[in-house]
Amino acid sequence: MALLDTVRGPADLKALSADTLPALAEEIRSFLIEAVSLSGGHLGPNLGVVELTIALHRVFDTPRDSILWDTGHQTYVHKLLTGRKDFSRLRATGGLSGYPSRAESEHDIIENSHASTALAWADGLAKAHRLTDRRDRRVIAVVGDGALTGGMAWEALNSLVDQRLPVVIVVNDNGRSYASTRGGLARHLASLRTARGYEEFLTLVKRLREIPMAGAPVFDVMHGVKAGIKDVLAPQGLFQDLGVKYVGPVDGHDIAATERALRSAAGFDGPVVVHCVTRKGNGFPAAEQDEQDRMHVVGAPVTGPKPTDWTSVFADEMVRIGAERTDIVAITAAMLEPVGLRTFAERYPDRVFDVGIAEQHAVTSAAGLSLGGMHPVVALYATFLNRAFDQILMDVALHRCGVTFVLDRAGVTGTDGPSHNGMWDLSLLQLVPSLQIAVPRDATRLRLQLRQAIGVTDRPTVIRYPKGALPPVTEPVGTVGTAEILARPDGESTVLIVAVGPMALPAVAAARDLAGAGIAATVVDPCWVKPLDAELLKLAEAHRLVVTVEDNGRVAGVGAALVQALHDAMIHTPVRCLALPQEFLAHGSRAEVLAQAGLTAQDIVRDVTNTLHRLGAVAVEETR
């Protein structure tokens, strides 16, 4: 029987002899490479934490002890060691989540998939344990070096030190997040891990460990010597300067050494950092040597040529714009490759700023660049824009800075689950005065609207688009103000369908099906959804029913904005708002989630038909 088959939970792992653990690690690594290559998922991060996760579960006792992962995409090994071995539907409907999930296991304490938050969770949990006298419970935060570029982590660390909370902070240092970790902290960690004198000393200690000495193993003696002379051989630890005990650096792929470091840290009555040096993608050469981090997350296999996606169109257009305008600069938060800025960075390296996992800083820095005469393009995943709302409102919009935000993975992203669905941005951004939002429906509109956005110099602009392959180009058959008409009947139109961006395709299909049922419908794409064009309101007034369709939450979205605008204009045309339910949506494919939310062509037809029937019944009743 394979070793992995014998591990049904942490207790089974603890029962294994130390000499079997390297073989277990290799089995886990082989399992991950095979399973993730079939399902898609985060491969590189999990290959890098195999031994570290084994050590954590051998030293600590979950769920009594709380292991908090920052971020949660590195928990596949943790899932395996806590009894979840069916990866056949990883990140698919009905299968395992790609992140920690409290619904899956009591060993998953927090569903953490936005970086830099685990230390704040740890701070709160440790305070609660102290107040309730549960001093036998440990709190462990596993924090990547990339996550430490986020300011929230340092706010929490300040509190941990102030309260002297017994939290074990495991710094998983692989020098990368989505890309090479940037900034002063990254350089400091590099100096700790690469100090030559200290590395040579560690090698000497490793060779002497097994030599017996009178009265004590040589390891115990050398451990004390190492602690005393480390500061001479390695740069002074930043963490120690802050008042945090520091253990390390430790080879995170040496299970025995990592266990010793964790056991030592567990006995300290205060915050302690265990600095584990790991290699992202360890054990899989293609992932280890992946300089552009394409193995960070891999997709499920596809047959045939890969279709052009939204991100690649943005990437191409940014390079063109960069050649035309020297004032265009780009900002990313540790996601140069995923948001499509790598080629721009290669062409114009002095005009790209990767600020690390620090979205708040990215936005206010962009405001400063704008004040200095540049036009920044801030490229983020839509879900991460939530973290910088105050900076958009008070730093960019209040100061009327010309900053363009490009939001990738907007709307339903699907497989990454509730934390990554970009379904909040259209609602949040409706609150921001003067800001303008465009939602392209295809590649042609993306190129055009990006250029329109960067032409605006006295207010912020936003372009948002979904994840995945591009739909076919839908050319307009007419215009009304800044909006474009995509379909209209030959005669009088009864229903106006307002299709927001990529929802144009199902809306046009619905209009065609409605025509077959004798219901004349016009489809219009607002193009710019904030502010709404006054001509669109006039068009709505000329119809018996308006239906809005958007890939965003129902509350305060484009549909709600149209209802408010019609109300303000004293236009009383009924409006139906079809959008995502205001819920945390479970993982599944984009098509599945949209279907569950009632956003298919068939759903639009059904809603229009039922609403017209009800309106007709009301009209008949009123005439009586």
Question: Is residue 495 left, alpha or beta, with left meaning phi > 0 and alpha meaning psi from -120 to 50?
Answer: beta
Q: Find the helix or strand (DSSP H, E) in which 14 lies.
A: helix 10-15
CATH code for the domain of 386: 3.40.50.970
Q: What angle do CA 576, 569, 543 make, to 5 degrees?
A: 45
Torsions phi, psi for 405 (to 5 deg): -100, 125
Comparing 610 with 218, the larger pLDDT belongs to 610
CB 551 within 8 A of CB 502: yes
- 326 and 445 assigned to the same domain: yes
What percent of the chain is helix, strand and coil (3-state, nearest 5)? 45, 15, 40
Peptide bond between residue 476 and the one before it cis (omega within 30 degrees of 0): no
Contacts 24+ apart (CB under 8 A), 609-616: 609/514, 609/517, 609/519, 611/545, 611/547, 611/574, 611/576, 612/494, 612/495, 612/519, 612/544, 612/545, 615/544, 615/545, 615/574
> Is 296 annotated as contributing to ligand binding?
no
31 among annotated binding-site residues: no
SS3 (DSSP) at 403: coil
pLDDT of res. 242: 76
Write down which residue in 415, 437, 464 finishes a domain: 464
Residues 511 and 395 in one domain: no
Percent of the chain with pLDDT over 70: 84
Token couple for 11: 């207790």
Q: Are residues 438 and 547 in the same domain?
A: no
What count of Cα atoms within 13 Å lies in the side-chain half-sphere of residue 363? Answer: 25
Helix (H, G, I), strand (E, B) or coil at 213: strand
Alpha carbon distance 106, 432 (integer Å): 40
CATH code assigned at 574: 3.40.50.920
**Chain segment 41-87, per-residue pLDDT in tens:** 788 888 989 999 999 999 999 999 999 998 788 888 999 999 898 88
Query: Please, is 154 exposed, middle or buried when counting C-beta atoms within 10 Å of its C-beta (0-12, 13-18, 19+)?
Result: middle
Residue 481 assigned ligand-binding role: no
Active site residues: 280, 359, 387
Same domain, 336 and 446: yes
Q: Please identify, among 436, 464, 492, the residue that sits at the C-terminal boundary of a domain.
A: 464
Q: What is the DSSP string of 294-329?
A: TTSSBPPP--SSPPPBHHHHHHHHHHHHHHH-TTEE
Are 451 and 505 members of one domain? no
Alpha helices of 60-195 — where are they, by DSSP H? 76-81, 118-131, 151-163, 184-194
Residues 261 and 160 in one domain: yes
Question: Same domain, yes or no, for 455 and 487?
Answer: no
- Mean of all residue pLDDT scores within the chain: 85
**β partners of residue 580:** 553
Region 214-229: mean pLDDT is 44
Domains: count for the chain: 3
Residue-range definition of the domain harbouring residue 430:
312-464
Q: Do 255 and 397 have their domain in common?
A: no
Q: Check whether 146 is labelled as a binding-site residue.
A: yes
Reading the block at residue 13, the tokens are 């792992």
CB atoms closer than 10 angstroms to residue 601: 18
pLDDT tens digits, one per residue of 242-283: 778 888 788 999 999 999 999 999 988 899 999 898 887 776
Q: Would you say residue 472 lies in a domain?
A: no
How far CA 167 is from CA of 220, 237, 505, 569, in Å, comes to 24, 18, 51, 57
Strand 521-525 versus strand 483-487 pairing type? antiparallel
- Could you tell me if 487 and 442 lie in one domain? no
Q: For residue 62, is it within any domain?
A: yes
Residue 219 domain flag: no
Specify the DSSP class assigned to residue 246.
E
pLDDT of residue 194: 53
Which H or E run contains 208? helix 196-208
Residue 174 within a domain: yes
**Confidence (pLDDT) at 182:** 56
> Which domain-ending residue is among 417, 442, 464?
464
Residue 297 falls inside a structural domain? no
Q: Are 355 and 376 in contact (CB under 8 A)?
A: no
Q: Which of 414, 416, 345 is nearest to 97 (CA)?
A: 416
Q: Is residue 214 part of a domain?
A: no
Let me know whether 253 and 393 are in one domain.
no
Q: What is the pLDDT of residue 178?
A: 46
At 600 the pLDDT is 95
* 498: β partners: 524, 548
pLDDT in tens, 392-436: 999 999 999 999 999 999 988 877 777 788 889 999 999 999 999
**Does 174 show up as a binding residue in the annotation?**
yes
- Any known ligand binding at 114? yes
Residues 6+ apart with CB under 8 A from 505: 441, 471, 472, 474
How far apart CA 611 and CA 326 sit, in angstroms, is 52
Q: Give the tokens for residue 127.
A: 């305070």
Task: Quote the pLDDT of residue 621.
Answer: 46
136-195 residue pLDDT tens: 899 999 998 778 888 888 888 888 888 889 999 999 888 654 455 555 555 656 665 555
Same domain for 518 and 573? yes
What was the pLDDT predicted at 159? 87
**Residue 293 placed within a domain:** no
Residue 373 lies in a domain: yes
**523 with 457, same domain?**
no
